[in-house]
A and B are shown apart, each in its own frame.
Chain A
């Protein structure tokens, strides 16, 4: 319970949710817990002061940005090229299958006609 209360109060303090919220959150803490909280807040405030954001060097940001956009362009055109190849391959495969089906159909028809003619000739003989 003690740890939970202090952790919650630290969160309220760290996220600057306002004095009233902080007062509400710490209302139930004992004197010992308040001292513990104040000590931890001091550590947090020192961290806050020491750990300032660092700026990335502008030249680095610019050159990496340019490289990334160029790489992204290459990848997009590569994807499009692969997509085109897939579509063309599928169309060719479809055409081959269609032609094979037509040829197959014609062969079956010819065989069927031949068989029928032979059967007729045999029956008249």
Chain B
């Protein structure tokens, strides 16, 4: 059976809760993935994922399809919640850099986590030092596998602006990681 398009599900979800559930199932992994890489721990990733979908549900009656993918709307909600989360955490000064180093993928278990190479940590910590928009770009591109055009829709920028930002981000990362990589190799 052919999968329903987002537009069909969105139209149906205004009256049918099950259709909203189907939209949730379609995007929950992507949103969780994005948030997990931005906040670096499972508990906050789950909390913020839940809040993203509850906020989407709250604002769903006024959601209008303006041509951008539905996922772009969800990513924007998630991005705003993550930004608030970082603001709150930096205000409270409760989270050290060590605490926010990105976690290993779920399902690999604690043993696998301890086996992660130094290079993993170095790379992920460097990504976390980037400005929020650059972190978002790297996650959408390398974790979610989006094209520059799709990233542009999520971030509200042109494809050209995304290409240029990606280039500048790689240059920054290369400079940031040069010494570390030399040490590791």
Chain A interface (Cβ within 8 Å of chain B)?
Answer: 3-4, 6-8, 10-11, 14-15, 39-40, 43-44, 46-48, 50-57, 60-61, 64-65, 67-73, 75-76, 79
**Inter-chain contact A10/B173, CB cutoff 8 Å:** no
Report the separation of the CA atoms of residues A67 and B107 in the bound assembly, to the nearest whole angstrom. 24
Given contacts A15-B147, A51-B142, contact A68 B167 (CB under 8 A): no
Measured CB to CB, the nearest residue on chain B to A48 is: B142
Cβ of B24 under 8 Å from chain A: yes
Interface with A: B46-54, B81-89, B92-100, which one? B46-54
- The DSSP consensus for interface residues of chain A is helix
Interface residues on B, range: 35 or more
From A10, A43, A65, contact of B174 by CB (8 A): A43
Given contacts A15-B148, A51-B37, A51-B139, contact A61 B28 (CB under 8 A): yes
Report the separation of the CA atoms of residues A10 and B137 in the bound assembly, to the nearest whole angstrom. 14
Tell me which residues from 96 to 113 in chain B have a Cβ below 8 Å from any Cβ of chain A.
Answer: 103, 105-107
Q: Tell me which residues across on chain A come within 8 A of B25, comparing CB atoms.
A: 61, 65
Measured CB to CB, the nearest residue on chain B to A14 is: B141
